[in-house]
Structure 1
């Protein structure tokens, strides 16, 4: 996997600001759920395309080259997502893509029925579903997640799954609990009773942690935010199934009927998607002997998941002679300690030290993490636990066990 020091060093060398902040100096980055580190190739590509004045759709060499770059990026993303049909759409943000897909599904689905989601969801999908369920005259039903484990399962959905479910939303991974859900199982349960339901998935938190396989999910829409998947801010990406794309949606009069994009898009944004796919292709080649590009991407996903699992286990149970977070006095773990759904994220609170103080003291020690409050972003998770806030510690595959050890040493001081 990534146990080789040489490979991990090579991985870290591909990311900008991996161990230092341009404003604060040397630091450990455990705020990946708020936005992952950026590939150096993405930085170079962004600068390159920012300088190009030409637009797509003109009769000149530069314009034709831009069109080819965009086409390649779409094909690369389809390969990464394992999405043989449908289309790749670039928009303003991942949240905006969720709103557009959910809006189109709610306004275009057969009359009547209900919209189904869960209390685990980020407000990006939950708010969109609530708004457009109301506008389309449908009830919006939320399946309760399990507060103890921080997940929602197909079994939890089952009591609310009926033949009149027109639109359903699923969160792939929670940015507060860090737990992933079985999208394929939930979608299959919905399809069994409502085969024509439009199913939209929020994959924004999950994307950086590997293993996206849309062909196996049986869904109609999937959204990611590239800045959380090693690219940059300023755009979002959605995958839209052919049946969802064919519903009535906003587009220019007289233009292509299936077009979902507006205006002249940033070619550099598309090109940076190819940078991400190229990186995962490279990593898959380092951790496997696969020659097929999709299989190398799958191998990279397995290696990412395994490495992050090892790091979170060290974070929870300790490394060397350092106690893990689960062993420190007065510290509580959101979602429980031994949770198989965890993807590179541990959220905690202390019975004796305020979350804001923990974040401040970690920051002073050169460790970047974040406080989550029971607000419109995280209240759905924290309020049922009786918590006003928690500390979110989120990692990615370029983090090291040495960085985890430094975190544990400082946390031991804070909680002593």
Structure 2
């Protein structure tokens, strides 16, 4: 990986913020976009802007080919068996809500169990809370180890024959921990449950093979993997998707409409009501091309080294608490931390004055914040365009933050 060449392909990185070169360490919230993605979206609007599937004119055909071509790129990217298993959505949140509202509502009964963890993003908690209320199902939480990892023994103790759905994030957006979703899926299936994987933080950073994982559903977002906002993917095993009802109704997803009854298109289009996210899908396809050319294995290896470097450097900052496993092999490219007696919002504000962008808050993981016994944290997250120099500047900024607030108080 030629990091300098990679960085040159991200126009936004070539700027100053508050008089300092931008150090962007917030890719877990959203990644920056390479010029290839920006140009692909611009080309669609400049040259082939048209609705898809409906028209027989030239532009409509070109737009449809580009849109469905992006679906095939997604299929290859996650190794799905068929494009019928790849549904375009607005993002991870919509994808998980679709599973909860369609599959969950139809297959859960009073006393059935849904198993998740304390570390889940709100988008993998609230949909299950809501479907549990509607169906009488019981929401259960798989305990976390002291370092924020998941023990398979705890999974076996939590998942029972009454469990119908297990839904776990592959990578924590707070702890950085990489969860053993393949092994969890096996335990779920042994108990007759389906496995839902939140891949929002894993799809951008590591190779995902849905057939190897044997997950029943996988959700991820384009904007965290160099693609545009507003586009995401729901993968589902074909036999499950075929039995599910759509949750959005209208144009594009229908086969035949009568006065009092209607029928749906075949997969995957029955889940894509209305004008689809055409430019977003094309942009996502360009992002997949970009990441695939570099190689997800190369990206994962580089981020692993970067995370090890970050853990080493940040551990030297006195009064800084790091959350999640401290072993680089157990975590992905982000570090969440707090500085003694300094609110994370203040940390982020001081860092921003130095041109360093980090995240501060509860990261849409309030149950995990309570488990950690904190109200909020700061988070630095890395991607393929970050460098050791970025981390050095982060450490320098944190030292300045400590000095500033020690002088204030």
State the shift of 1:336 in Å: 4.1
Q: Does 1:281 align with 2:296?
A: no
Identify the residue that residue 338 of structure 1 maps to in structure 2. Answer: 327
1:200–1:222: 8 Å Cα contact kept in structure 2?
yes
Identify the residue that residue 259 of structure 2 maps to in structure 1. Answer: none
Instruction: Give the alignment's Cα RMSD to 1 decimal.
Output: 2.0
Q: Does 1:80 align with 2:89?
A: no
Larger displacement relative to structure 2 (15-24 or 107-116): 15-24
**CA 1:414–1:24 in 2, change beyond 3 Å: closer, same or farther?**
closer
1:225–1:237: 8 Å Cα contact kept in structure 2?
yes
**CA 1:60–1:23 in 2, change beyond 3 Å: closer, same or farther?**
farther
Identify the residue that residue 37 of structure 1 maps to in structure 2. Answer: 32
Cα distance in 1 for residues equivalent to 2:18 and 2:316: 34
Identify the residue that residue 290 of structure 1 maps to in structure 2. Answer: none
State the shift of 1:279 in Å: 0.9
Identify the residue that residue 237 of structure 1 maps to in structure 2. Answer: 233
| SS state at 1:209 partner | coil
Q: Deviations over 1:252-273 (max 9, x none)?
A: 4233154211112132222112
| SS state at 1:142 partner | strand
**CA 1:19–1:131 in 2, change beyond 3 Å: closer, same or farther?**
same
State the shift of 1:78 in Å: 0.7
Identify the residue that residue 269 of structure 1 maps to in structure 2. Answer: 280
State the shift of 1:239 in Å: 1.0
State the shift of 1:282 in Å: 1.9
Identify the residue that residue 287 of structure 1 maps to in structure 2. Answer: none
2:89–2:233: 8 Å Cα contact kept in structure 1?
yes
**CA 1:19–1:276 in 2, change beyond 3 Å: closer, same or farther?**
same
1:209–1:301: 8 Å Cα contact kept in structure 2?
yes
Identify the residue that residue 294 of structure 1 maps to in structure 2. Answer: none
State the shift of 1:207 in Å: 1.7
Larger displacement relative to structure 2 (14-23 or 103-112): 14-23
Scaled by the length of structure 1, what TM-score is found? 0.87
State the shift of 1:71 in Å: 2.0
Cα distance in 2 for residues equivalent to 1:142 and 1:238: 23
Cα distance in 1 for residues equivalent to 2:19 and 2:244: 49
Pick from 21, 30, 38: which aligns with 1:26? 21
**CA 1:110–1:328 in 2, change beyond 3 Å: closer, same or farther?**
closer
Identify the residue that residue 362 of structure 1 maps to in structure 2. Answer: 351
| SS state at 1:205 partner | coil
1:210–1:301: 8 Å Cα contact kept in structure 2?
yes
| SS state at 1:402 partner | helix
Residue correspondence of structure 1 range 317-396 to structure 2 within 5 A: 317=312, 324-373=313-362, 377-396=364-383
1:358–1:414: 8 Å Cα contact kept in structure 2?
yes
How many matched pairs? 384
Q: Does 1:303 align with 2:298?
A: yes
2:49–2:63: 8 Å Cα contact kept in structure 1?
no
Identify the residue that residue 228 of structure 1 maps to in structure 2. Answer: 224
State the shift of 1:133 in Å: 2.0
Identify the residue that residue 59 of structure 1 maps to in structure 2. Answer: 56
Identify the residue that residue 132 of structure 1 maps to in structure 2. Answer: 131
Identify the residue that residue 256 of structure 1 maps to in structure 2. Answer: 265
